[in-house]
A and B are shown apart, each in its own frame.
Chain A
Amino acid sequence: MTKIPMRYCPGCGHAIVHRLIAEVIDEFDIKERTIGIAPVGCAVFLDEYLNCDMIQVAHGRCPAAATGMKRVRPDVIVFSYQGDGDLAAIGTAETIHAATRGENFTVIFINNAIYGMTGGQQAPTTMPKQKTTTSVYGRDPKIHGYPIKVCEMLSALDGPVYLERVALNKAANVLRAKRALKKAFRIQLDGLGFSLVEILSPCPTGWGLTPRKACEYVDEKMIPYYPLGVYKDLTQKKPT
C-alpha cells in the first residue's frame, strides 16, 4: 500500500478490503507482476492506495479491460475491483461475458447495496424496503424490480471456476474474506480461470447509520438476503 491516507468514510469496507488485497499480493510476492483495475465509484481512487501498476477504466468495463490485458499478457496478474453499480448495473454484460469466457483474472466485487460515490442512490443490489435517494419510500419490487444476486447468477455459467460471497461485518468474516481473496488469486496464478469474490460491505454514510449499526445491518439484513458461502468451486473434486 502507499502511504497516502485513505479518504473513505469511517466504517467503510473499502479500507479493509484494500488492506486484505495488499496482504494477499505481498504474501504471494506478486506486486511486481500485478495490475489492478479501479472502477468508477468510491474506489476510483484505488490507484492512490495500492502500490502496484494501476489503471482506472470506464464505468462497468473493468472485465473487458482485464480481458484485453490478460489475453495480451497472460503472465501478468490482473484483478478488477468493482462496486454494485459498476459490476451489476452498467457492467452486467461485461461481468457475465468475461465470466462465461472464463478469462483468467480475479474480480473483487464490493457489494454495499447502494451507490456510495454519487450520494446514495438505488443499486441493483439494493434490497426490498431499503431506502435510497432514488427510492425514498424504500425499494418496492412492483416499481423497482428485484435485486440481482450476483454469485447465484454467475454460478449458472460454465465459465467461472470459483465464486464465493463473504462479508466484513465482524472479524471472523474478515478473515474468511481474506481466505477467499487468497484462493481467488491462487486460481489465477495457477492459470485455472475466472474467479469472483463478492464482499458484503458496510456503507455507513449511504445507509445513514453509525459504523457499528452498519455492521449490524450487514449481519441482520444483508446476510439473510445474500447468504454467505461458496457458490461455485471447480477446484474441489466432487465427492464420489
Chain B
Amino acid sequence: MKGNEALAEGAVRAGCRFFAGYPITPQNEIPEYLSWRLFEVGGTFIQAESEISAINMLFGASAVGARVMTSSSGCGISLKQEGISYMTAAELPCFYASVVRGGPGLGNISPAQSDYFQSTRGGAQGDYRVICLAPNSVQEMGNFPKLAYDLADKYRNPAMVLADGLLGQMMEPMGFTFDFIDVDKLPPKDYILTGCKNRKRRIINTLRMDSDRLEKFNWKLYEKYKRIKENEVRYEERYTDDADIIIVAYGTAARVSIDTLVRGREEGIKIGLIRPITLWPFPRKIINELASRVENFLVVEMSIGQLIEDVQLAVEGKAKIHFHGRPGGNVPTGEEVLKAVKQALK
C-alpha cells in the first residue's frame, strides 16, 4: 500500500468519521482516498476552502463527539496552528497528519524533516503540547492512527502523525494490527455538546479572563502533559548494548540509518540506534542513560538541525553529539551517513 493511503485507511479503521482538508502535495492521496472511503462507512468528507477552515471544522465536529482528522504539509500545517491551540485549550481530541515537504516558504514537494519544531514546539499560542508520533514505514503509517486516536481520546488532546513526503509516497507491504473499530462501542465522552436534553448545559469556551482561573487551567495542562511524559514515551532501540556511537533519527532518516547500521556493523563499527517513535513526549530518559556510557551520538535528520536540540537536552553534556543533516528535500543515503559515523569516531 502507499504510505498516505495506509494512513487514511488506518484512520478509518480506527474510527475516523469526519475528515476536512485541503489539497497540498505530498499528501493529496489522503483526502482523495477519504473522499470515497468515508462515504462507505457513513462518515463525512469535506474538501474545505482552506486549511484554516478545515481545522475549525474539526473543532466543531470534535466538540459534538466524532473522531476527526485533517492532514496537510508545511504551510498548510502552519495555517492550522491557531485551531490546534484552541483544541488543546478546549481539551478536545483530534488527529492530524503532517507529511513534511521542503521548506521554508513554499519550499518544494520533496521529503524533509524541517517541521520538527513546528510539531513539537508548536507555532501556536499558549503553553500547550501535541502528542507527536513518527512512523518510519508504511506499516506504521497504517497503524499509528489507532494509537493517535486512543491517546487523543485518553488525554483529551490533539495527537499527530509526523511523516515525510517519502513515507507518504512509498509503497510497502503492510498489515493492520488492530480490529476495525465499531465507533458506537467507543466509550462515551461526557464533555461533548449534543443539546442539553436531560442534563445541565455545557459550555466550551477557551477564554478564561480571570488570571487565577487561567493559571489553574494551565497547571491542569501541566499535570496532563506530565502524565503523558511518564506513560506514553515510545522508541525503537537497536544494538545499543555495545555501541561506540548511537545514531538518533526518526522517520525516513531512521530507515536510512538502519541501512548505515547494517553496513557499519559488517565493517566492525559498533553502531547503535535510537529511533524516537514519540517525538513528543521525547524519549529523554533512554538517551540520557545511554549518554552515561556511550561517548558519541550522531543525529541524522533531513533538516539543518531541530531534533538535535532535543538530543542535546537529553544528553545533558555527557557525550559528544555530531550532526548529519540533509535539508531542502534531499534524502541522505546509507553510505553518506556511514561516512559521517566514521568521521565522528575519528
Interface pair B196/A72, CB less than 8 Å apart: no
Tell whether A195 is near chain B: CB-to-CB under 8 Å.
no
Report B170-209 residues with CB < 8 Å from chain A CB.
193-198, 201-207
Give, as a whole number of angstroms, the nearest-CB distance from A75 to chain B: 8
Mark contacts of A213-228 with chain B using CB atoms, 8 A cut-off: 1 yes-contact digit, 0 otherwise. Answer: 0000000000000000
Give, as a whole number of angstroms, the nearest-CB distance from A116 to chain B: 16
Most buried by A among B65, B86, B205, B207: B205
Give A53's nearest chain B residue, CB to CB.
B193
Interface pair B82/A58, CB less than 8 Å apart: yes
Question: Assuming A72-B44, A93-B50, is B56 touching A31 (CB within 8 A)?
Answer: no
- List the A side residues contacting B68 at CB < 8 Å: 68
- Among A11-19, A33-41, A150-158, the stretch that binds chain B is A33-41
Give, as a whole number of angstroms, the nearest-CB distance from B201 to chain A: 5
Interface pair B48/A64, CB less than 8 Å apart: yes
Mark contacts of B35-55 with chain A using CB atoms, 8 A cut-off: 1 yes-contact digit, 0 otherwise. Answer: 000000000101011101110
Report A96-110 residues with CB < 8 Å from chain B CB.
96-97, 101
Interface pair B50/A55, CB less than 8 Å apart: no
- Bound complex: CA A97 to CA B47 (Å): 11
Interface pair B195/A35, CB less than 8 Å apart: yes
Interface pair B60/A57, CB less than 8 Å apart: yes
- Bound complex: CA A35 to CA B202 (Å): 9
Tell whether A205 is near chain B: CB-to-CB under 8 Å.
no
Give B90's nearest chain A residue, CB to CB.
A55
Most buried by B among A44, A61, A76: A61
Tell whether B58 is near chain A: CB-to-CB under 8 Å.
yes
Interface pair B196/A58, CB less than 8 Å apart: no
Question: Assuming A47-B203, A53-B201, A54-B204, is B196 touching A68 (CB within 8 A)?
Answer: no
Interface pair B65/A72, CB less than 8 Å apart: yes
Question: Assuming A55-B63, A64-B60, is B201 touching A93 (CB within 8 A)?
Answer: no
Question: Assuming A52-B201, A55-B193, A97-B53, is B206 touching A68 (CB within 8 A)?
Answer: no
- List the A side residues contacting B20 at CB < 8 Å: 64, 67-68
Interface pair A71/B44, CB less than 8 Å apart: yes
Tell whether B297 is near chain A: CB-to-CB under 8 Å.
no
Interface pair B56/A32, CB less than 8 Å apart: no
- Bound complex: CA A47 to CA B201 (Å): 10
Interface pair A72/B18, CB less than 8 Å apart: yes
Tell whether B99 is near chain A: CB-to-CB under 8 Å.
no
Tell whether A73 is near chain B: CB-to-CB under 8 Å.
yes
- List the A side residues contacting B59 at CB < 8 Å: 57-58, 61, 64-65, 68
Tell whether A209 is near chain B: CB-to-CB under 8 Å.
no
- Bound complex: CA A47 to CA B68 (Å): 24
Give A40's nearest chain B residue, CB to CB.
B207
Interface pair A68/B58, CB less than 8 Å apart: yes
- List the B side residues contacting A73 at CB < 8 Å: 64-65, 194
Interface pair B195/A65, CB less than 8 Å apart: no
- List the A side residues contacting B203 at CB < 8 Å: 47, 53-55
Report B41-96 residues with CB < 8 Å from chain A CB.
44, 46, 48-50, 52-54, 56-66, 68, 82-83, 86, 90
- Bound complex: CA A55 to CA B206 (Å): 9
Give, as a whole number of angstroms, the nearest-CB distance from A97 to chain B: 4
Give, as a whole number of angstroms, the nearest-CB distance from A236 to chain B: 29
Interface pair B205/A38, CB less than 8 Å apart: yes
Interface pair A55/B65, CB less than 8 Å apart: no
Tell whether A51 is near chain B: CB-to-CB under 8 Å.
yes
20 contacting pairs across A/B (C-beta < 8 A) = A32-B196, A52-B196, A53-B202, A54-B202, A55-B204, A56-B204, A56-B205, A58-B59, A58-B83, A64-B52, A64-B57, A65-B60, A68-B58, A68-B60, A68-B63, A71-B44, A72-B61, A72-B65, A76-B64, A77-B195
Q: Which positions in B face A, CB cutoff 8 Å?
A: 17-18, 20, 44, 46, 48-50, 52-54, 56-66, 68, 82-83, 86, 90, 193-198, 201-207
> Given known contacts A47-B203, A55-B204, A76-B195, what 14 new A-B pairs fall within 8 Å (CB)?
A33-B195, A53-B194, A53-B196, A55-B193, A56-B207, A64-B52, A69-B63, A71-B18, A72-B61, A93-B53, A94-B56, A97-B48, A97-B53, A101-B46
For the complex of A and B, the 3 pairs showing the least CB-CB separation, nearest first, are: A68-B60, A65-B60, A68-B61
